[in-house]
Structure 1
């Protein structure tokens, strides 16, 4: 079933959740409200948008998946696009041997990573995700922003790791869930599909579905909407029905931002923003030399050498430390 603009009219959904409001897609989010954030949010939190539960639509029980209509404002979407666009490069996948990134034929988009808490807008969105999903901010990776142009896609895959290296405790352990935020409308194609999902009450792609999405559980990208799905069952075992894909873009350009969340806090600062004391510049991860030697300084510069107000995690190994700074 394709859950686009006409989904509610067709009754194409599973579960008892209330219907999302039509028309208003949350550009202003109903104004400023007190936050329903998790514990640990900082003093800026009163400006955060509250979670509006009547915007959340359950789309599947197996796998667990739901769409939040208007989760981001249009301004937030444009801000994430603007942050990412200058640094976009060929998308990669996680290397199972060393945690780095490698190109893959199953993913043909362009992408880059933002740091956790990179600026106030990013931090506010991260707090909102934690409030919605009940997964603490400390368990989340930084956003990966992706751009898909004509014909580009991400073939079926799992977000949970199938190797031991990336499940180390300091890396947060296994990925438990994903939030995928759509930063643009897509005129045709670009749907997120779950090809192995349990059939719902009203399967079928609908008139606006691309050939890739026809007959499958599918979510059509709409600017500001966000898709949340779990990769693990509640008992911690992997959910084979969480296999998903990004259909080829047929018409338009698709921008998205992904937040991967783990079962435990990420302790190695892998995607957190870093701020050094004056005169200090150093590596903050024992793997920095290996990452630098594999080309991560240029492939993932925001994490490795920093951007904006944040220092990088591997500035010493990348040769990006200013002269006269100390490594301590």
Structure 2
């Protein structure tokens, strides 16, 4: 069945990063040991085959990794923006009330981050060089992102890498209440979105889970059914990491 007619959220076993207590300028002895341990596992495991039949190790690893991304992002969070469809520039908007940051080119050279991006490329079958930098987001109580499309409607953002083909959305923590990812045009049932019943498909954030969905169909056209949003947080906070994947390589 053609991908273009359906939003396809997949719960994926995607590794994300690691360790509590990281900062960009200071590493403690304990953290160095943990990094060395995880990196050595990366070295021997290739694309995660080492843990293929060891669920406990995989879950432990995912927990460290999720905490790692949260810790490197926390000191650098800024109010999230949206793309202005007329200018292609990033602007603040009431439709998106989270805070976030993008990993830098230096961050992307860290072995753990490189391993994350490699696994995303393997799972999505889209080359690593076609991926934008990972964006880490935090949603606090009552914060949300109204339903939107990830593909661009302006010419400016298509110049480097072309259109966004797919999105990998990774959950970095469990949310007490609310914070679901809503796909309003997927399915014919109802689901809970921020405590309210709505039409569509809602994905509850679970630490270590991820969703891959496509913004472009097999016909090469942008898919309006990929409409999605972040439901309001009712209790607690939500951390996620997003990687957008393009048609071509990004310079």
TM-score (norm 1): 0.58
Q: Which of 183, 192, 206 in structure 2 is aligned with 1:194?
A: 183
CA drift of 1:44 comes to 4.7
CA drift of 1:71 comes to 11
Return structure 1 stretches of 4+ with deviation > 6 angstroms. 51-54, 69-72
What is the CA deviation profile of residues 112-167 of structure 1, one whole-angstrom value per residue up to 9, with x for unaligned ones? 10035241211111001001110110000001110000000000100000111111
Correspondence 1:175 to 2:174: no
- Contact 1:51 1:132 (C-alpha < 8 Å) held by counterparts: no
Aligned length: 216
Q: Which runs of 5+ in 1 are unaligned?
A: 1-13, 22-27, 36-42, 55-68, 268-328
Distance 1:177 1:51 in 2: 27
Alignment of 1:272-283 (within 5 A): none
Partner SS for 1:161: coil
CA drift of 1:79 comes to 0.4
Partner SS for 2:207: coil
Of residues 95-104 and 174-183 in structure 1, the stretch that sits farther from structure 2 once superposed is: 95-104
Please name the residue that 1:88 is paired with: 77
Q: Which of 213, 228, 236 in structure 2 is aligned with 1:229?
A: 213
Q: Which runs of 5+ in 2 are unaligned?
A: 1-6, 19-37
What is the CA deviation profile of residues 87-120 of structure 1, one whole-angstrom value per residue up to 9, with x for unaligned ones? 0010011244554421111000011100352412
| Higher radius of gyration, 1 or 2 | 1
Correspondence 1:134 to 2:125: yes
Higher relative contact order, chain-length normalized (CA < 8 Å, sep 6+): 2
Please name the residue that 2:234 is paired with: 250
Higher helix share: 2
- Contact 1:191 1:213 (C-alpha < 8 Å) held by counterparts: no
TM-score (norm 2): 0.75
CA drift of 1:50 comes to 3.6
- Contact 2:179 2:205 (C-alpha < 8 Å) held by counterparts: yes
Distance 2:239 2:140 in 1: 9
- Contact 1:50 1:128 (C-alpha < 8 Å) held by counterparts: no
CA drift of 1:204 comes to 3.0
Q: Which of 155, 158, 163 in structure 1 is aligned with 2:146?
A: 155
- Contact 1:144 1:259 (C-alpha < 8 Å) held by counterparts: yes
Partner SS for 1:172: coil
Q: What is the alpha-carbon root mean square deviation over aligned residues?
A: 3.5
Q: Which of 226, 237, 244 in structure 2 is aligned with 1:260?
A: 244
- Contact 2:44 2:50 (C-alpha < 8 Å) held by counterparts: no
Correspondence 1:205 to 2:191: yes
